[in-house]
Structure 1
């Protein structure tokens, strides 16, 4: 059985990606940070459909913990799937903070950097020896990196995601001798718990976003999760180094 690691899978896009990947017959190691209940809910949803999943704690902003996490993953692979390798990595864990440049604190900037760019870089580096040849990586980016239609306040967040887009191409280049493909998905406005459940707290922001979207609504986690599952699968065996916008035609 193929096995995937999905970070930040206690809710939203990561949860949906883990469930969609499992539906395709792949085992899943999923991570959670501040929401262990959500991680267990994801496992339960996968097991209800006959899949196999294990939830592990991980703060992607704490790179010093990655060696211990890799050792834990190796043990789970051995105990649950009788394997010493895994196949797919989805670098999805993240958070959002908005601030105008003039108001941004170094503390917030550094935390965004640690979680959104440094985390995926060094977590992938640490897990690479456990990844099987012919595998795949998907990084969750954002359409806040676009060249037009920018929203003030996303400068730091979008800069990290822009760095992740570049990192995606370099990973694709460097991992290609092992047959490992690397792509990114770039969601538009999606109904997740990001930014402290902003859509739930401020439902009035949804109609204007839907109006700017060609397909007439905001995204749902399943819209993005299905694309991630497709990208790691063999259906996308000839796709690498791409940043694919999954936004329903935002600002089209």
Structure 2
């Protein structure tokens, strides 16, 4: 389920990015008035558009920088300290074979928020907004549960087609330098994965890379033992009784 393709991942002004999409039902527009006003009071910017390929209405959500900084402090998102130790050493020559252009990206600047952090903050706001007077009438999950809203989801950064000439966003970089089968032997760009998907996903792939390296060592050792045994069997044939 997508938003209208003519706008891509932006509002109609083609400047404000879409951070979250809520799929509405035609009969739920009026009951959602309270919920929409709550979101606007929180500082979120909203826009309702009609789908081109499906008969649906989409509520597009954008969080401006001012609201983003404020709620990042409220929810303590994006303010973890990141210690970076940079050693100016010459890389080993063979390590260049496994490196990618996005293997090591610089840490984010102070006040900068990653895609994952923006999504986390917007999702928390959607969950904390009331749509009624009752204490249980709160949050996007409850709206979906009572079927006032069909679903809600964040958007990816944009297209990843091969015909795009420039790398416009992080998703396209990951598509070409990580998920592409042609780079299966390359090291994982953990910094970029952390920037786009968050720490938990990056930690999983860091563990997976370590696990694969350990399996490779065991596989090489096992292959060496098998070859050695074949050589020994051929050198010392078994005498038939």
Q: Shorter-normalised TM-score: what interval?
A: under 0.3
TM-score, normalising length: structure 1: 0.26
Larger Cα-atom Rg: 2
Normalized per residue, the structure richer in strand is 1
TM-score normalised by the chain length of structure 2: 0.26
| More helix as a share of residues | 1
